[in-house]
């Protein structure tokens, strides 16, 4: 049996971490840390505002260097085995921000208007970390472009890290059941 290359081992560990964050919701205590949830909620609502106002560079600054953003097609999917809509690391997030400003990206121009509503925030400290927490919230995104309105609802899972400058996003997972049914252009999902 041969050892896996370091890059593959790191990728597989990331995938298992993402799946564990989704599975956490099934085992999470019904009672959560209300003070922590209120603190985290300010970050999640601020993230939504930055995205709605197209302040993508400020939004990108919220992300940690070891960031991962995953949008599976089904909530029970595994990133090593199943196709997902989005699997971005820090570098790919930077490319996504660049694309959101690119006027030659015909599917994005004219720019859309979006409104994100974040609610039902719950948060728990992670036992194996002094700085990381896991939070979940309901999300509803209304997207309008060229007179066509799309409404997408789901649950988002954030792994956040407390820093001297506030919370950083380490992981973001969006579980949106309607995605698997097929929707128009989804490049705006962030």
DSSP for 47-81 reads HHHHHHTT-HHHHHTTEEEEEEEEEESSTT--TTT
pLDDT of 55-102, one tens digit each? 999 999 999 999 999 999 999 999 999 999 999 999 999 999 998 888
For the chain, which domains are there? 6-181 (3.10.450.50)
CA–chain centroid gap for 187, Å, is: 13
Whole-prediction pTM value?
0.91
pLDDT tens-digit readout, 120-169: 999 999 888 888 999 999 999 999 989 999 899 999 999 999 999 999 99
In this prediction, residue 131 carries a pLDDT of 84
Question: Does residue 120 sit in helix, strand or coil?
Answer: strand
pLDDT on residue 62: 98
């Amino acid at each position: 049996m041969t050892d896996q290359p370091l890059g593959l081992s790191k990728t597989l560990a990331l995938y298992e971490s993402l799946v564990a964050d989704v599975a956490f919701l099934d085992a999470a205590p019904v009672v959560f840390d209300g003070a922590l949830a209120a603190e985290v909620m300010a970050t999640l609502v601020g993230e939504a505002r930055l995205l709605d106002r197209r302040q993508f560079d400020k939004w990108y600054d919220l992300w940690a260097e070891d960031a991962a953003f995953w949008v599976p097609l089904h909530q029970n999917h595994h990133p090593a085995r199943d196709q997902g809509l989005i699997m971005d690391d820090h570098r790919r997030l930077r490319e996504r921000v660049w694309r959101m400003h690119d006027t030659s990206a015909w599917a994005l121009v004219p720019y859309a208007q979006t409104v994100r509503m974040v609610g039902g925030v719950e948060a728990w400290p992670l036992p194996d970390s002094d700085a990381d927490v896991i939070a979940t919230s309901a999300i509803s995104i209304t997207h309008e472009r060229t007179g066509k309105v799309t409404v997408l609802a789901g649950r988002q899972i954030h792994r956040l890290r407390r820093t001297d400058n506030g919370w950083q996003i380490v992981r973001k997972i969006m579980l949106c059941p309607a995605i698997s049914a097929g929707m128009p252009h989804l490049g705006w999902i962030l």
